[in-house]
Amino acid sequence: MRWALETVPPFALAALRFLCAAVPAMFFIRRPNVSWSMLVAYGFAIGVFQFGLLFLGMRLGMPAGLSSLVIQTQVFFTIGLAAWWLHDRLSWHSLVGACIAGAGIVVLAWHKFAFGATATFAGFLLVIAAALSWAVGNIIAKHAAGRGDVDMLGMVVWSSLAAPLPLALASYAFEGGPAAWHAVVEMT
C-alpha cells in the first residue's frame, strides 16, 4: 500500500482496489440473500470509509506498519458497537481479553515509536476513523448474517460494487480530478 500511495492518490487507489475486487468476482459469486441497501451500507462502511480513510491517513504521514497496528482498534469499536447497537452481552472473559489485546497494541506501538517510527496526528486520527468504520462494517455484516443463511463471501464481493463510484468522485473532488486518474493510468 505504501508503494502504491507514493504514485496514486488515496481515494483513487481505494476506488481502483474495489473495482478490481468486485468486477471479476461478481461474475462467479452469486449475490447474497440480503437487500441492496444492506450491501450498499456495508460497501460504504468498508470500502469508502475504512479504506478511503486508511489510505488517506497513510498518505498524510501514518507509516504502514503503525497503521496496521492502529487499525486493529476496530476490535474495541466493534465490541462497543455490538453491545450498544445489537445489545450483545459482554462477558468478563471478553473484557479481560480486550484489555490484554489493548495492552499488546500499546506495547507494539510504543516499540515502533521507540525505534524511529514517526506519524502525524492527522494521519493517526484518520486511521482511528478507519478502524471505527471497519467496526461499523462488522456490525452491518453481523446484522445481515443474523437474518439467515447469508454467503459472506458474496456479501464482500457484491458490496464492493458500492465503493468505486463514491471513491472516484471523492478523488475527482479532492485529489485533483484528471491528474489523479492520470496517476492511475500511469501505474497500470
For 99-129, the pLDDT digits (tens) are: 998 898 888 888 887 887 788 889 999 999 9
Average pLDDT of the chain is 91
pTM above 0.85, yes or no: yes
Structural contact between residues 136 and 45, judged by C-beta atoms closer than 8 angstroms: yes
- Of residues 95 and 155, more confidence is placed in 155
Query: How far is the C-alpha of 138 from the C-alpha of 45, rounded, in Å?
Result: 9
- Angle at 82 (CA atoms; ends 33, 56), nearest 5 degrees: 85
